[in-house]
Amino acid sequence: MAFLLIVIYVAFIGLGVPDSLIGSAWPAVHAQLNIPVEAVSFITFIISGCTVLSSMFSARILNKIGTAKVTAFSTAMTAVALLGFSFAQSFLVMVLLAVVLGLGAGAIDSGLNNYVALHFKASHMNFLHCFYGVGVSLSPYLMSVALSSAGWRGGYRYAFYVQAAIAVLLIVSVPLWKKSSPDTQAEEEKSTNLTLWQMAKMPEVRQVWVIMLATNAIEYACGVWGSTYLVEQKGFSAELGALALTVYYVGMSIGRFVSGLISGKISTWKRIGIGSAILAPAIVLMLLPLSGTVTVAGLFLIGLGNGSIYPNMIHLTPHNFGKEVSQSVMGSQIAFAYIGVMLAPPMVSLISSVFGIAVYPILLAALYVIMIIAIRCFVNRIKKLNRYNANV
C-alpha cells in the first residue's frame, strides 16, 4: 500500500504539470504567433469545458474500467497533448490539443480524488494536492528557464518529458492497484451512480458546487492571468512574470503541505476556515496600488490560503454525502470546479478589455465573497441534515 501511495503522489504531480503552462507561456506565445492576448481565455475555456464533460461522466467510466487504468491512459493523453503544443503553429491546432488535454485531465482528477478520499486520511489528501502544487510549480519554472534559451516550445517539451515519464510509471503500476487494495474493484462496482438532475435537486450538492466553482475560479484567475497582470500592470518582463507565477504556486504547495501536517490536530473544517481567513489580507494586498513585489506577495498568500480549501472539501465528500454516492458527487464537484476554471479567465478577459487589467484584483475579491457565503450556507445545510462532523 505504501508503494501505491507513492505512485499516486507522482500521479498528482502529473495532474498539475499541464495546468500552469498556458498562463506562464502565453505572453511569449501570443507575441510570436501574433494571437490577441485575450485568446488565452478561449483555450482555457476549451480545456476546462472538456474537463467538465470528462468529470461528469467519470463515475460510469471509472466503475467499469477502474481507477488505475483510467488514470494511466488519461495521463498518457495529457502527455501527447503537451508534446503537440510544442509543435503547434496556429491557434486552431492549440484549440484541438486543448480538447485532448481537457478530456484527459477530468478523468484523472475525479478518479484519484475519490480513491484517496475513500482509502486514505485527510493528511494524505492534502499532501497529495501539495504534490499537485509541485506539478503546477514545476511547469512555470521550466517555462521561465526555457523562455531564456529554448523558447516557449522548449518549455512545453520539458513538461512533456516529465509527463511522459509519469505516464510510463502509471502504466507499469496498473497491476499494483489490485494487489495493494483488493477490495477496490468491488467498492467501485457497488457505487451508486446519480444523474446530474438527481444531484441538482439536493440543496447541499448545489451549495458545494458553488464552493468548488469559486475556489477554483480564484485559483485559475491567478494562474492564467497573474503573469499577464504583472507584465502589463506592474511592468514585469515576460520571463520575470513567469518566474513570479512560480511563487504563487509555491504558496499553494506550502498551504497544502502545512494543512496536511496539522490535520491530526486541527479538524478539516477548521483548516478550511484558516485558509479562508488567509485569503482576506491576500486580496487586500492585490487591491492596494503598491509595487509589483507586494502584488507577488499577495499572489503567494492567495496560493497559501486558497490552496488548502479544495483538497479539504474533496476529502469531506464521503463524510458529507456517503460513500455509496461519493464518486458521482465527486465527479460533479470537480466538474463545477472546472466550470469555475472555464469561466474565470474569459470573465477576466471580457471585463478587463472594457475597464482595463487594473480591475483584476476586484474580480478576485468578488469571487472570494461568493465562496465565503457558499461555505456558510453549506455548513448550515449539512448541520440540519446531521452530517456535520467538526472532528473529521
Cell of 217: 475560479
Q: Please tell me the distance from the alpha carbon of residue 313 to that of residue 276, in angstroms, as a whole number.
A: 12
Q: Please tell me the distance from the alpha carbon of residue 16 to that of residue 35, in angstroms, as a whole number.
A: 25
Within 57-121, where are the H helices? 58-65, 67-87, 91-119
The chain-wide mean pLDDT, for the chain, equals 84
Higher pLDDT: 155 or 224? It is 155
Average pLDDT over residues 333-342: 83
Q: Which long-range contacts (CB under 8 A, 24 or more apart) does 257-260 make?
A: 257/126, 257/127, 257/130, 257/133, 258/308, 259/126, 259/307, 259/308, 259/311, 259/312, 260/122, 260/123, 260/124, 260/125, 260/126, 260/127, 260/130
Average pLDDT over residues 44-62: 80
Percentage above 90 pLDDT, the chain: 24
| Extents of the domains making up the chain | 2-384
Taking the domain 2-384, which CATH number applies? 1.20.1250.20
Q: Please tell me the distance from the alpha carbon of residue 72 to that of residue 68, in angstroms, as a whole number.
A: 6
Average pLDDT over residues 240-254: 83
pLDDT, tens digit, 9 for 90 and up, residues 275-304? 999 999 999 998 888 888 899 999 999 999
Average pLDDT over residues 39-53: 82
Stretch (H or E) spanning 316: none
Q: Please tell me the distance from the alpha carbon of residue 236 to that of residue 226, in angstroms, as a whole number.
A: 11
Q: Please tell me the distance from the alpha carbon of residue 256 to that of residue 131, in angstroms, as a whole number.
A: 9
Q: Please tell me the distance from the alpha carbon of residue 70 to that of residue 159, in angstroms, as a whole number.
A: 21
pLDDT, tens digit, 9 for 90 and up, residues 230-244? 888 888 887 788 778
pLDDT, tens digit, 9 for 90 and up, residues 298-322? 999 999 999 889 888 988 888 888 7
Residue 344's pLDDT is 84
146, with CB counted inside 10 A (0-12, 13-18, 19+), is: buried
Identify residue 268 by its one-letter amino acid code.
T
Which range is least confidently modeled, 6-10, 144-148, 238-242? 238-242
